[in-house]
């Protein structure tokens, strides 16, 4: 049964009205009601930024999704074939103005989100992503020379199948737990001793690939104390699923107490650790890290005790 | 062919196929077998294991492996160990393999256990010749197992190994918490000829990685 132009306009008007009412109600709700509960939370600056990004993306997507749902719902209800009606539907024909609006609007939305997403990914210090060995967007206090950096340094070492963490500003001690202080900018230096892993501290909004032979830098400032989940986000072998642990964000005072205990606990093994380096690969024979081989390449070796972090209390090693 | 014959001709193969699937599934979920720790006194159990450089038998005779001793003294080629919750576990590991350096020297550190000793000597730092480690990352437990000398002339090559072969005996104790299932593994890259030294036996249940079942 063919429909005339007036009838089509009537349907379009109804669809537009239903869509507008729903969009006006639901779009602000997505931003103001759902937004504050979106992942990954607000434990750190990166996490807050990612939550804002998720909120904006969901808010922009809401009217689009609503339009599709309303259109489909309206079509299901109103454009059903009636019993005994075997006539053809109306012929499909072009509508230049409608197409121009449709293409123009979607292009505008997609390009706007592209610009927004790109800005949000790079401007806030890399947004918690691994930014390589020489990041472009960095926090104040960062230098390429870790020994001169005033940021709080933590080296994240992936290996099959666990994470360990090295604190170059604290005698280069390596621990099996990740504990970090709140309120200070932290530089994660992520690397691997064997295959490719991915360091994902979910509640901190940090995710950086751990590549052998690469120092992948990521920044974060944690805003409140609490636990956060650490997982490997790159399939790295049969026990990949067991490669998780729980990190802790504590006050600087509590961190110093914890660190003093770690320095005592690992006192005997610290001298056995290799000199702190941004990477431990490749070895001189091109193979995997093996402390029994020749020393690490000189250009990768850093002093075992770089400068203490700016906002930290004097370290036990200083 | 009668209808009954046709029916039998269809049902019998189907039944055989089903039986094969069930048998395979049962074998898969039951392999390697679970070995229960031997209770000594209330609240305490003993577990004895051994590590061998080559298992010597089975589909991968050249693979390095753990074995667990049953309460009756026999050895089972398995790494699935069951212990009770809230119990003191006295571990004895007979280490028949040679040593190599650790990829991460941190694993020299004894963690999460008490009374560590090697051949009766209290734990110091077993530095340069670590054969394997017994490590349960989730429980914070790790113990390096010193290797025997490379030039040993009395090495065991087919498991289970008798105590007359050269070996080190590492003992330690840990206490289980609540019920749960935890993976354990070796952190020495001893999967020779496999990617990063962590393939092959290092990645295979029943050889160098295992499961600790803590049951209520």
User: What is the pLDDT, as a whole number, of residue A303?
Assistant: 43
Q: Which residues in chain A touch residue B197, judged by CB atoms under 8 angstroms apart?
A: 194, 288
Task: Establish if A186 belongs to a structural domain.
Answer: yes
pLDDT digits (tens, 9 = 90+) for B146-195: 989 888 889 898 889 999 999 999 999 999 989 999 999 999 888 777 77
Same domain flag for B101 and B129: yes
Same domain flag for B74 and B172: yes
Angle between helices A5-29 and A45-78 (to 10 degrees): 150
CATH code at position B124:
2.60.40.420
Q: Which of B88, B81, B92, B83 is nearest to B42 (CA)?
A: B88
User: What is the pLDDT, as a whole number, of residue A314?
Assistant: 38
From CA B138, how far away is CA B183, in angstroms rounded?
8
Task: Establish if A318 belongs to a structural domain.
Answer: no
Same domain flag for B68 and B150: yes
Q: What is the mean pLDDT for each group of 10 consecutive residues in chain A (318 residues)?
A: 70 95 97 95 93 95 96 92 82 87 94 93 83 89 84 94 94 94 95 93 96 93 96 92 94 96 91 85 63 49 46 39
- Look at chain A and report how many structural domains it folds into: 2
Alpha-carbon distances of B38 from A153, B33, B81, B168, rounded to whole Å = 47, 15, 11, 22
Which segments of chain B are extended strands (E)? 34-36, 38-39, 44-52, 65-69, 75-76, 80-84, 88-95, 114-118, 121-122, 130-136, 141-146, 168-175, 180-185, 209-215
Same domain flag for A156 and A290: yes
From CA B78, how far away is CA B212, in angstroms rounded?
11
- Look at chain B and report how many structural domains it folds into: 2
Same domain flag for B78 and B185: yes
Nearest to B106 among A160, A174, A245 (CB): A174
Same domain flag for B78 and B5: no
Same domain flag for A150 and A275: yes
* Count of pairs with CB atoms under 8 A, one residue in A, one in B: 79
User: What is the pLDDT, as a whole number, of residue A292?
Assistant: 57
From CA A95, how far away is CA A75, in angstroms rounded?
19
Here the ipTM equals 0.83
Half-sphere exposure (CA, 13 Å, Cβ side) for A18?
15
pTM for this entry: 0.83
Q: Which residues in chain A touch residue B200, judged by CB atoms under 8 angstroms apart?
A: none
From CA A293, how far away is CA A302, in angstroms rounded?
18
From CA B198, how far away is CA A238, in angstroms rounded?
10
Among A56, A88, A123, residue at a domain's last position: A123
Same domain flag for B40 and B92: yes
Same domain flag for A160 and A274: yes
Contact (CB<8Å) B125/A289 = no
Contact (CB<8Å) B106/A159 = no
Q: Is the dihedral of CA B49, B133, B182, B24 positive or negative?
A: negative
Same domain flag for B165 and B185: yes
Same domain flag for A153 and A295: yes
Q: What is the average pLDDT across B114-142?
A: 85
Contact (CB<8Å) A159/B140 = no
Q: What is the average pLDDT across B78-100?
A: 93
Same domain flag for B195 and B133: yes
Strand A206-210 and strand A197-201: the pairing is: antiparallel
Enclosing domain of residue B91:
34-215
User: What is the pLDDT, as a whole number, of residue A301?
Assistant: 41
From CA B108, how far away is CA B142, in angstroms rounded?
9
User: What is the pLDDT, as a whole number, of residue A312?
Assistant: 44
Enclosing domain of residue A18:
5-79+97-123
Same domain flag for B155 and B92: yes
């Amino acid at each position: 049964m063919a429909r005339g132009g007036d009838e089509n306009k009537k349907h379009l008007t109804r669809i537009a009205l239903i869509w507008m009412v729903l969009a006006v109600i639901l779009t602000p709700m997505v931003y103001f009601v759902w937004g504050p509960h979106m992942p990954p939370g607000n434990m750190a600056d990166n996490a807050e930024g990612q939550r804002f990004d998720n909120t904006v993306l969901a808010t922009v997507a809401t009217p689009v999704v609503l339009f599709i749902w309303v259109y489909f719902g309206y079509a299901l209800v109103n454009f059903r074939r009636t019993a005994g009606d075997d006539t053809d539907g109306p012929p499909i024909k072009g509508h230049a103005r409608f197409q121009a609006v449709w293409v123009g609007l979607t292009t505008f939305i997609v390009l706007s989100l592209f610009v927004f997403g790109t800005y949000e990914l790079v401007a806030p210090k890399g947004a918690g992503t691994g930014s390589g060995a020489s990041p472009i967007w960095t926090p104040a206090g960062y230098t390429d020379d870790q020994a001169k950096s005033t940021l709080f340094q933590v080296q994240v070492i992936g290996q099959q199948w666990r994470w360990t963490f090295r604190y170059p500003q604290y005698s280069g001690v390596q621990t099996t737990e990740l504990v970090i202080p709140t309120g200070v900018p932290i530089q994660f230096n992520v690397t691997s001793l064997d295959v490719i892993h991915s360091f994902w501290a979910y509640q901190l909004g940090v995710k950086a690939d751990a590549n052998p032979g690469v120092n992948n830098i990521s920044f974060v400032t944690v805003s409140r104390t609490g636990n956060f989940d650490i997982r490997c986000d790159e399939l790295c072998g049969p026990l990949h699923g067991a490669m998780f642990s729980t990190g802790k964000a504590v006050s600087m005072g509590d961190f110093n107490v914890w660190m003093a205990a770690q320095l005592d606990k690992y006192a005997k093994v610290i001298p056995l650790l290799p000199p702190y380096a941004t990477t431990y690969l490749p070895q001189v024979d091109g193979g995997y890290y093996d402390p029994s081989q020749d020393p690490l390449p000189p250009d990768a070796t850093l002093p075992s005790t770089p400068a203490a972090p700016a906002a930290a209390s004097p370290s036990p090693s200083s | 062919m009668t209808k009954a014959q046709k029916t039998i001709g269809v049902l019998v193969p189907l039944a055989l196929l089903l039986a094969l699937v069930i048998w395979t599934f049962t074998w898969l979920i039951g392999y390697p077998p679970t070995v229960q720790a031997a209770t000594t006194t209330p609240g305490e159990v003993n577990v004895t294991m051994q590590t061998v450089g080559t298992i010597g038998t089975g589909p991968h005779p050249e693979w390095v492996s753990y074995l667990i001793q049953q309460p009756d003294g026999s050895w089972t080629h398995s790494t699935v160990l069951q212990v009770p919750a809230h119990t003191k576990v006295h571990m004895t590991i007979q280490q028949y393999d040679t040593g190599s350096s650790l990829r991460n020297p941190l694993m020299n550190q004894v963690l999460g256990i008490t009374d560590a000793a090697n051949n009766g000597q209290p734990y110091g730092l077993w530095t340069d010749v670590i054969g394997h480690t017994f490590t349960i990352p989730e429980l914070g437990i790790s113990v390096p197992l010193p290797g025997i000398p490379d030039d040993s002339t009395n090495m065991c090559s087919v498991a289970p190994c008798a105590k007359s072969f050269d070996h080190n005996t590492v003992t330690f104790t840990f206490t289980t918490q609540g019920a749960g299932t935890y993976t354990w593994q070796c952190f020495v890259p001893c999967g020779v000829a496999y990617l990063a030294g962590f393939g092959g036996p290092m990645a295979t249940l029943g050889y160098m990685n295992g499961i600790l079942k803590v049951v209520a």
